[in-house]
Structures are given as structure tokens and as C-alpha cells.
Amino acid sequence: MIREIVFILIVLLLPGSCKISRDVEESNFVSHSDLDELRTKGKITAVTDFNSVNYFIYRGTPMGFHYELLRSFSEFTGINIEVITTSDINKSVDLLNSGAADIIAIDLPSGSDLVNKVRFTLPLNRTGLVLVQRKPSRWTGMSKEEIDRALVRNVSFLAGKMIYVQSGSGAAIEMHRLNKKMSNKLTVIEVPFEAEKIISLVAKREIDYAVCDENTALVNSWYFPVVDISTVIRQPEDLGWGVRKTGSEQLINALNDWIQTIKQNNLYTILYSKYFRNEGLAQIFRSEYYTINTGKISPWDAYIKKFSETIGWDWRLLAALIYQESRFRPDVVSNAGAHGLMQVLPSTGESMGIDITSSPEDNIKGGVLYLSYLQKFFEDKIPDENERIKFVLASYNAGAGNILDAMRLAEKYGKNPLLWDGNVEYFLLKKSDPKFYNDPVVQFGYCKGDEPVNFVAEILNRYAEYKNFIP
């Protein structure tokens, strides 16, 4: 438990900003831009893969080796990073060269033919490929020599056998290359799911052999001790990220500067140890809140689903709001006296006839009733439903009066009072400036606008992350 808590604390303390969007088809980024243009645009688009090492969600919190590296690069450049995901290296290259992505943040083997298609960064990782197979049924009482005799320790002995690999992965590329060299052929079967799923099939005796990268195999061997990962298929080699071969000079220089920085300041070492040398990960994989396996976000999912239906919300959006308010902790009390999962004031609950301190269920019920009130309040004012959500969220944080002030300011200064991004959002930020909070159209005075603005952005970003893993 201590190891798990330390693990979580490290993730929560690391700075950065990533906006995640798993659905590749939703990406609208089609121009080929270098860093100055990306800075003006306000985002860098990166493609990565999702699995038990690179990107996953645990207890509502996004984690992962590449995910946190992207957060670090975002902090280094000061530019938000939007992430699209695919586990197929060939597809990631297509996304890069079509302009839908600016960075491939996947372990790309520097010794592969990819060098002709992308420009590699300095090495970010290093790993080989290993064979995943089951240990003998009585392996716990056997010596290493006895286990070795019972297992495949030479690649040539795989002839005639079926080897499972993740579609489009480095393992798939290598196994097809290896098969061409073998006089006695093996059968390479590509399957469309992540390496840890394939490893679990080996452990469960549904398949006999798989090949994947050594880092992922090592992490999953803590969870599945019955699997053996000692047979090397390919020796470790340098792995980097990729950018387009032309038109990305500033971006590749920034990436290389950042890589040198994180290797000098030990951030890289910390993250590598956290994800590839931490046996506490096995406890996370076993948890019912390891979202990749279970689809669960929190202990309160049933209540969240129940009450989200009453206001017509996607339950994952309500879950993102609750995470933002309380990190799913039901006993939190703010300095202002707001209670519980949804940080509702007891007076607000009383006005709706609910004791929001009595139970997590009643706390969520009270918070949702307040959201329902805000939705009705803005229903006629903001006709677009997607825009209205932003106004409701901001009002939940700062009160509807401050949002109305910002709408009036937007209208006065020629902005659109019905749009959030760059319009009402902009003038809510200005409500901390005397020039604006003393304006005659302002009725509710000073507001520290960055709090509700960040509140809205972080909830919507987290909502996108939850949609990545929960259909």
C-alpha cells in the first residue's frame, strides 16, 4: 500500500498540461506546422499508444510513461499537447505525414525501416523484444535449469509454432522479418489488442507464445508470474520519438533539448523507475479501478450513472466534475465549508431539502440538483448544448452571476456572449482587473476568473480522457 501511495503522489506532483482525445478520426489538424506555428495555434498534436505502461487511467487519474513525458514536454514548451492514440506504428506514421499529428510519441526502433519515413529524436528509451511463454505447471518447485529445459530458449525451436503479436507493433515488424530468414517457418498472428492482453492469454493457456517489448513484458510479469520472458528475440536497441522528415526543424530541436534536460535533471530516471522498475504496478493492475480492464472510474460510478441520467449528462462528464471537486473522496471539506464528493454547501443542500453531509449518494444528488438548476437557468440564454455545458460548469464553480457579468462584458466589447472559448472565457479572466470589474455592466464585482476558466478546461480535458477508455 505504501508503495502504491508513493506511486500516485509522484504522478500528481508532476506538472504539465495534456489534452487527450483517443478518437483518431476526430482530429482536425491537417496543416504541416513547425514549432512557431504550433505555438500560435496553441497546441501540439501527438500520437501515442495506450496500454499498461504508456497511457492508462487508475482511480480517475491518467498515468503512463509516454503520457507523463508528453506532460513534461508540454511544460517545457509552454504549449498544450493534444493526444490521439493508435497502437499501430504504420498508422501513426500515416497520421504524422498527413499532418494529423506533429509527434509520434511511441517507442520507435531506430534500427528499423522507419528511419526512411520519420525523423528520430535523440533516444528516449531502450528495450528489446522477448518471447512470452508459460512456465511449466510445477515451476515453483523447479530449478532454473529444469525450467530452461522445459521452455523454448532458441528462436529456431519456434519453427511450426504460432506466435501472437500486436498488430502494427515493433514486435510484428520484427517477427515478419525474422520469419523471412528462417528456413523452417513459424506462423505470425497479428491481433488488434494491446500487448498486456496478449500476455494475459498466454497466462490463461489460451495461446502458447507471444512476442512483445521487454519493458512491457517485465511489467506484466509482475502481474502474471506464471509467464516466462527470459528468451530474447531481439537485443535491446535505442528507441525514440518521431517527427516529419521535413518542416519540423524547430520541433525536433526543442524535443532534443528537452530530452537532454530531463536526462540531466533526473526526471527521465524517475519516470523510468516508476513505470519499469516498480513492482507496485501489479497492485494497480489488479485494482477494480484500473480502467482499461474494468471500465470503472471510482467507487461511486453507480450513483454517478444514476443521477447523470436525471439531467441528461454523459456519466463520464459528471465523473470528471466530481474528480475535479474532490478526487472522489467523500469526506473532503473545503475552507468555505463545501462538503463531499461534489463540494456542495450545506445551505445549498438545505434549500433543496437534502442533507448533503448524510451520505455520498445524497451529496451527488444535491450537486446534480444544483446542476439541473443551472442548466435550466442557461437553457434559453445559451442555445447550443455543447456551449451551454461550459457555462454551467463555470457557474458551478464561480456562480452564475459572475458568468452573466462576463457575458455582458463580451457583448459590450464586441465579442460573442454565447461562445465560451476566447469570448466569455476571456472576459471572465478580465474580471480580476479593476477596469473591468468596475465597468457599469458588471453587477457582481471582482472575480478571480482563472479558477473557473481552469475548472472548465480541466473537466473537459479529463472527460475526453475518460472517453478514451470507457465506451
Phi, psi of 215 (to 5 degrees): -60, -50
> Do 423 and 444 touch, CB atoms closer than 8 A?
no
**Is there a catalytic annotation at residue 174?**
no
> Do 51 and 22 touch, CB atoms closer than 8 A?
no
For residues 455 and 449, what is the distance between their CA atoms, to the nearest angstrom?
A: 10
* Backbone angle region of 340, left / alpha / beta, with phi > 0 → left and psi within -120 to 50 → alpha: left
- Length in residues, the chain: 471
For residues 295 and 269, what is the distance between their CA atoms, to the nearest angstrom?
A: 31
> Do 68 and 81 touch, CB atoms closer than 8 A?
no
For residues 137 and 271, what is the distance between their CA atoms, to the nearest angstrom?
A: 35
DSSP character string of 55-92: BEEETTEEE-HHHHHHHHHHHHHT-EEEEEE-S-HHHH
For residues 325 and 340, what is the distance between their CA atoms, to the nearest angstrom?
A: 9
Q: Which residues contact 43 (CB under 8 A, 6 or more apart)?
A: 19, 29, 79, 80, 81, 82
Amino acid identity, position 261: T
Q: Which helix (H) or strand (E) holds 164?
A: strand 162-166
Amino acid identity, position 465: E
Number of other CB atoms surrounding residue 462 within 10 Å: 24
Alpha helices in 128-280 (DSSP H): 144-150, 170-181, 195-203, 214-223, 249-264, 267-276
For residues 149 and 143, what is the distance between their CA atoms, to the nearest angstrom?
A: 10
Catalytic, out of 68, 196, 214, 325: 325
Q: Which helix (H) or strand (E) holds 304?
A: helix 301-310
Sign of the dihedral defined by the CA atoms of residues 148, 153, 157, 160, in that order: positive
For residues 274 and 267, what is the distance between their CA atoms, to the nearest angstrom?
A: 10
Sign of the dihedral defined by the CA atoms of residues 259, 265, 267, 269, in that order: positive
Residues forming a β-bridge with 243: 119
* Backbone angle region of 195, left / alpha / beta, with phi > 0 → left and psi within -120 to 50 → alpha: alpha
Active-site residue list: 325
